[in-house]
């Protein structure tokens, strides 16, 4: 039977003091169950989460650990209860691979918020098997967490949509990005550049905020209507009470972040939503009620997205021909990609091509 | 049509900030009367936490002399020639706002309570320099946009505290979808909190009240709360994870060690924690990490009083559903006593002062 001889090999963290020096290991995959899909991996995107996890910035990780959760590949095996996929389908897996499927959140198409969620890597299945990620040859996941990729979208482009793309699409959709809305995007990296592309595709007027002058031309080409350099003094002055949504991809905060200034750019009941998650000791700067009350604004968070949102996003990408700005490398060079990502050097997302099998 | 006797503007004013609750009757200059203004002879005024924060200097230095009070009900004595919907003799209310620019996007969107050019009912100033003085007084003048006809069925002593406390919680309940099928939590059952319980029930939601200790539990159940939670019980939030669509917080003082993370964990996906409590300027919200808001995709927000649209809807709801706040009435000369009572957390649940300087026919 195809897939039964699949070897599960991956580039793994073995020594946290050398966080981007990943060694090839063989690992035990998820125990195959009737609703599972097994995928032979061709591509994987490199996400900020990979860096936060490997550097131990989000806490002590499991060892050895294979990260990577922007996965594209081909179905090699399906369980007998799988209805959505067949062998040979081209599919993706993102940052989540399991949930309880019974709670209110799961039933409301909010499975990304299930309190018993299983993350694609650095988590553990109830039977004890450690979840290993996509810098590898193959993965198994419950069909709810496997997404069919439209023919028109190339695998190298689809890869980073699985986490970066979905993570910004979800709040843009939830908070009403669309025609006649003014949407601000703070931080134009992997997630931020997707937010510009999606918000434009959804019909909004887009304001991109960056502290990096060298990105301005690119951001205009991505379609942003306005590009604002946050390094400039009083950058927010002409934008007071303007934005309906301000989506922040910042994953570094600290007390010097002018959060009050960001909130002042929101129109009445406007929303500041962070998808960026910094290291555990990096809290938000102090917020006073007086920051929230003058414009009745809201400050929120968002975590990846649901399957429903993912399929919608892929259809948007397909119908509007949206392509991310990627840099491609063979998977053996993922360490270089990780270091460059940490140093903010990527323009705008790395995708690695699987080279172990 | 002129009033029979011209209204004399006098009020109980703070003249010495070191004796902030000793208020003495002082004449004051009212707003210069304009064609869109309404003049009101005051009969009642509610006592608001804002009055306290302002008089004690907690929100910054106050204008002296200062007359506070922004939960005002009275009888119209005079209207400007452009005023159409209000006439002398009408029973009306004035809340925490007396002016806005009326031209900006917010004003045009019925969000005048968020106008950057808004004028507060007291401790503020008109463009011509006249200082705004509040409702612990005989009278007030305000632009008709900020004057609200009171439904006949609604008694003045009940309507008074709806003008600030009531609308301040009604506005976010309405904005964020309080209604049948929704679970709404109210944190802090004082003047504003008890109104949130009354209105949320009237709007059809399932209501949970959060209060420290058990002293208020019986009252809160009588107000209609479906459940009452004692927040001094350790881990009270654990069984309520992922439950609420809306949490209204009226807390204006966070005791040390209160974790906002635990409170936010009680919100359902995309649920909203809305603070209407405004602590003193040196008291930020307890510290947060983005994980605390990404785990359930929740939002923290603020809300500021309400618009005329909110106010009229609220008064209509109160009249229709016969909503009566729980008030304690005092003559206006006892304003200082009422303020001390609010400060000590003793009021059950809102003081209303009856104007006694120049009784209104």
- A 286-345 near B (Cβ less than 8 A): 286-303
- Joined together, the tokens standing for residue A276 give 């960026």
For residue B46, the cross-strand partners are: B352
Which CATH number do you get for residue A249?
3.40.50.720
Among B350, B110, B314, CA closest to B203:
B314
- Confidence band, pLDDT 50/70/90 cuts, at residue B313: very high
Residue where a domain stops, chosen among A301, A320, A339: A301
On whether both A274 and A288 belong to a single domain, the answer is yes
In terms of domains, do A173 and A287 share one?
yes
Task: Tell me: ipTM over 0.90.
Answer: yes
Q: Do A291 and B291 touch (CB under 8 A)?
A: no
User: Which pLDDT value is given to residue A4?
Assistant: 56
Same domain? For A18 and A119 the reply is: yes
Q: Contact A113/B296, CB-based, under 8 Å?
A: yes
Q: Tell me the residue range of the domain where A329 lies.
A: 2-163+305-353
In this structure, the answer to whether residues A68 and A139 fall within a common structural domain is yes
Same-domain status, A182 and A136? no
Please provide residue B5's backbone torsions phi and psi, each rounded to the nearest 5 degrees.
-125, 130
Tokens linked to A133: 């990620």
Listed by number, the residues of chain A in 232-291 with a beta carbon closer than 8 Å to a beta carbon of chain B are 240-241, 253, 267-269, 271, 273-278, 280, 282-284, 286-291
Residues A158 and A28 in one domain: yes
Query: Has residue B281 got a pLDDT over 80?
Result: no
For residue A19, give both structure tokens: 């966080």
Distance between CA atoms of residues B200 and B194, nearest Å: 10
Shared domain check, A89 and A35: yes
**Residue B157 CB contacts under 8 Å (≥ 6 apart), including other chains:** B44, B73, B327, B329, B352, B354
Contacts of B22 (CB under 8 A, 6+ apart): B14, B16, B336
Looking at the fold, whether A279 and A324 belong to one and the same domain comes out as: no
| Helix axis angle, B191-202 to B165-175, nearest 10° | 40
Across the interface, whether the CB atoms of B278 and A267 are under 8 A apart is answered: no
Give residue A1's pLDDT.
43
**CATH at residue A49:** 3.90.180.10
Q: In whole angstroms, what is the distance from residue A301 CA to residue A276 CA?
A: 9
Picking from A283, A301, A319, the residue at the C-terminal end of a domain is A301
Quote the pLDDT of residue A285: 86
SS3 (DSSP) at B339: helix
Considering the domain architecture, whether residues A146 and A209 belong to the same structural domain is answered as no
Nearest CA in chain B to A301: B294
A158 and A25 belong to one structural domain: yes
Read off the pTM: 0.94
Interchain pair A290, B293: CB under 8 A: no
pLDDT(B283) > 90:
no
Output the pLDDT for position B4: 55
Tokens of B355: 């104007």
Name the residue with higher pLDDT: B242 or A257. Answer: B242
Domain check: are A17 and A109 in the same one?
yes
**Residue A21 to residues A12, A34, A340, B298, Cα–Cα distance (Å):** 8, 36, 13, 37
Give the mean pLDDT of chain B.
95
For residue B278, give the nearest of A110, A289, A303 by CB distance: A289
The minimal CB distance from B288 to the residues A268, A280, A283 is found for A283
Instruction: With CB atoms and an 8 Å threshold, state whether A293 touches B290.
Output: no
Q: How far is A113 from chain B (nearest CA, A)?
A: 6
- The residue of chain A with its CA nearest to that of B291 is A277
Question: What is the pLDDT at residue B246?
Answer: 98
Q: How far does the CA of residue B188 sit from the closest CA of chain A (Å)?
A: 16
pLDDT tens by residue, chain A, 357 residues: 444 578 899 999 999 999 999 999 999 999 999 999 999 999 999 999 999 999 999 999 999 999 999 999 999 999 999 999 999 999 999 999 999 999 999 999 999 999 999 999 999 999 999 999 999 999 999 999 999 999 999 999 999 999 999 999 999 999 999 999 999 999 999 999 999 999 999 999 999 999 999 999 999 999 999 999 998 999 999 999 999 999 999 888 777 788 899 999 999 999 999 998 888 888 888 888 889 999 999 999 999 999 999 999 999 999 999 999 999 999 999 999 999 999 999 999 999 999 999
Q: Is A50 on the interface with B (CB under 8 A)?
A: no
Is B293 part of the contact surface with chain A (CB cutoff 8 Å)?
Answer: yes
The reported pLDDT for the residue numbered B58 is 78
- Residues A61 and A122 placed together within one structural domain of the fold: yes
Q: Which of A277, A290, A292 sits opposite B290 (nearest CB)?
A: A277
What is the H or E stretch that residue B106 is in?
helix B105-108
The number of domains in chain A is 2
Interface of B with A in 83-142 (CB under 8 A): 105-106, 109, 111, 114, 116
User: How does pLDDT run across B60-71, given as a tens digit for each residue?
Assistant: 888 899 999 999
Q: Which residues of A touch B293 (CB under 8 A)?
A: 274, 299-301
Residue pointed to by tokens 């905060």: A253
């Amino acid at each position: 039977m195809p897939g039964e001889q699949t070897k599960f090999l991956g580039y793994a963290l073995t020594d946290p003091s050398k966080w981007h020096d990943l060694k090839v290991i063989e690992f035990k995959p998820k125990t195959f169950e009737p609703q599972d899909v097994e995928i032979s991996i061709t591509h994987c995107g490199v996400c900020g989460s990979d860096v936060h996890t490997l550097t131990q910035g989000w806490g002590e990780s499991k060892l050895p650990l294979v990260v990577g959760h922007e996965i594209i590949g081909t179905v090699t095996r399906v369980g007998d209860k799988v209805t959505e996929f067949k062998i040979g389908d081209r599919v993706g897996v993102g940052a989540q691979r399991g949930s309880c499927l019974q709670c209110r959140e799961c039933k409301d198409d909010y499975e990304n918020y299930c309190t018993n969620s299983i993350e694609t890597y650095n988590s553990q299945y109830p039977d004890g098997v450690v979840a290993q990620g996509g810098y590898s040859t193959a993965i198994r996941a419950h069909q709810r967490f496997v997404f069919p990729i439209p023919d028109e979208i190339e695998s190298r482009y689809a890869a980073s949509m699985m986490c970066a793309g979905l993570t910004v699409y979800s709040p843009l959709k939830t908070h009403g990005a669309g025609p006649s809305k003014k949407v601000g995007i703070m931080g134009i990296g992997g997630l931020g550049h997707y937010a510009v592309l999606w918000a434009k595709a959804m019909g909004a007027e887009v304001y991109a905020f960056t502290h990096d002058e060298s990105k301005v031309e690119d951001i205009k080409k991505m379609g942003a209507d306005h590009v604002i350099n946050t390094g400039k003094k009083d950058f927010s002055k002409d934008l007071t009470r303007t934005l309906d949504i301000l989506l922040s991809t910042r994953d570094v905060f600290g007390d010097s972040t002018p959060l009050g200034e960001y909130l002042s750019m929101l129109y009445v009941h406007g929303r500041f939503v962070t998808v960026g998650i910094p290291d555990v000791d990096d809290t938000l700067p102090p917020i006073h009620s007086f920051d929230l009350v003058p414009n009745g604004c809201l400050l929120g968070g968002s975590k990846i997205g649901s399957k429903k949102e993912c399929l919608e996003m892929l259809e948007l990408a397909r119908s509007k021909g949206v392509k991310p700005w990627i840099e491609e490398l063979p998977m053996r060079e993922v360490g270089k990609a990780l270091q460059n990502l940490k140093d903010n050097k990527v323009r705008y997302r790395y995708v690695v091509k699987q080279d172990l099998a | 049509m002129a009033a029979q006797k011209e209204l004399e503007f006098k009020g109980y004013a703070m003249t010495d900030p070191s004796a902030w609750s000793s208020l003495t009757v002082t004449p004051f200059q009212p707003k210069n009367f304009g064609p869109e203004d309404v003049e009101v002879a005051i009969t009642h005024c509610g006592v608001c936490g804002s009055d306290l924060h302002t008089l004690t200097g907690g929100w910054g230095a106050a204008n002296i002399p200062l007359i506070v009070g922004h939960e005002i009900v009275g009888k119209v004595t005079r209207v400007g020639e452009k005023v159409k919907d209000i006439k002398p003799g009408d029973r009306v209310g004035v809340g925490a706002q007396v002016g806005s620019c009326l031209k900006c996007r917010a004003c045009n969107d019925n969000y005048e309570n968020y106008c950057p050019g808004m004028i507060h009912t007291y401790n503020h100033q008109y463009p011509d320099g006249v200082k705004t003085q509040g409702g612990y007084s005989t009278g007030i003048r305000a632009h008709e946009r900020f004057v609200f006809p009171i439904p006949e069925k609604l008694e003045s002593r009940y309507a008074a505290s709806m003008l600030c406390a009531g609308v301040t919680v009604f506005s976010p309940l309405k904005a964020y979808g309080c209604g049948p099928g929704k679970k709404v939590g109210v944190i802090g059952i004082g003047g504003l909190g008890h109104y949130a319980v009354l209105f949320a029930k009237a709007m059809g939601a399932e209501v949970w009240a959060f209060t420290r200790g058990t002293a208020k539990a019986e009252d809160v159940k009588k107000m209609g709360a479906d459940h009452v939670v004692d927040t001094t019980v350790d881990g009270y939030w654990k069984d309520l994870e992922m439950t609420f669509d809306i949490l209204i917080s009226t807390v204006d003082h966070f005791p040390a060690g209160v974790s906002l993370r635990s409170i936010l964990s009680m919100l359902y996906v995309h649920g909203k924690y809305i603070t209407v409590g405004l602590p003193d300027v040196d008291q930020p919200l307890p510290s947060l990490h983005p994980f605390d808001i990404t785990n359930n995709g929740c939002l923290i927000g603020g809300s500021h009083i309400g618009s005329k649209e909110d106010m009229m809807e609220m008064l209509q709801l109160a009249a229709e559903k016969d909503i009566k706040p729980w008030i304690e009435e005092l003559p206006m000369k006892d304003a200082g006593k009422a303020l001390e009572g609010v400060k000590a957390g003793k009021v059950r649940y809102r003081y209303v002062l009856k104007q006694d300087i120049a009784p209104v026919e």
